[in-house]
Amino acid sequence: MAKLNQIIAVEKGVKSKSQQDLTAAHHGLQKPALLAGISRTYQPKDEEGEQLPPESTRVQVKAEDVLRDTAAILTRLFDVTATKDWSNCSARADVTVEGRTLLRDVPVSYLLFLEKQLTDLNGLVRKLPVLDAAESWSLDPSTDSWKTDPVRTVRTKKVPRNHVKAEATDKHPAQVEVYYEDIPVGYWTTVKFSGALPARRVNELLDRVEKLQQAVKFAREEANGAEAADQRVGDVVFGYLFG
Show me where the domains of the chain are located.
2-35+55-131+197-241, 150-190
pLDDT value at residue 1: 64
What is the per-residue pLDDT across 130-166, written as a single tens digit (0 to 9) for each? 999 999 999 999 999 999 999 999 999 999 888 877 7
Q: Mean pLDDT score of the chain, rounded to an integer?
A: 88
Query: Contact 4/225 with Cβ under 8 angstroms?
Result: yes
Distance of CA 210 to the CA centre of its chain: 17
Q: Which of 10-14, 124-128, 132-136 has the lowest mean pLDDT?
A: 10-14
- What are 176-214's pLDDT values in tens digits? 788 889 999 999 999 999 999 999 999 999 999 999 999
pLDDT higher than threshold 90 for residue 3: no
pLDDT of residue 163: 81
pTM above 0.95, yes or no: no
pLDDT in tens, 70-88: 898 889 889 988 988 888 8
What integer pLDDT is reported at residue 242 of this predicted model? Answer: 83
Asked whether the CA dihedral 150, 151, 152, 154 is positive or negative, the reply is negative
Q: What are phi and psi of 222, to 5 degrees?
A: -65, -45
Letter string b/e over residues 207-237, b meaning 16 or more CB atoms within 10 A of that residue's CB: eebeebbebbebbbebbbebebeebeebeee
Cα separation, 151 vs 191, in Å, equals 7
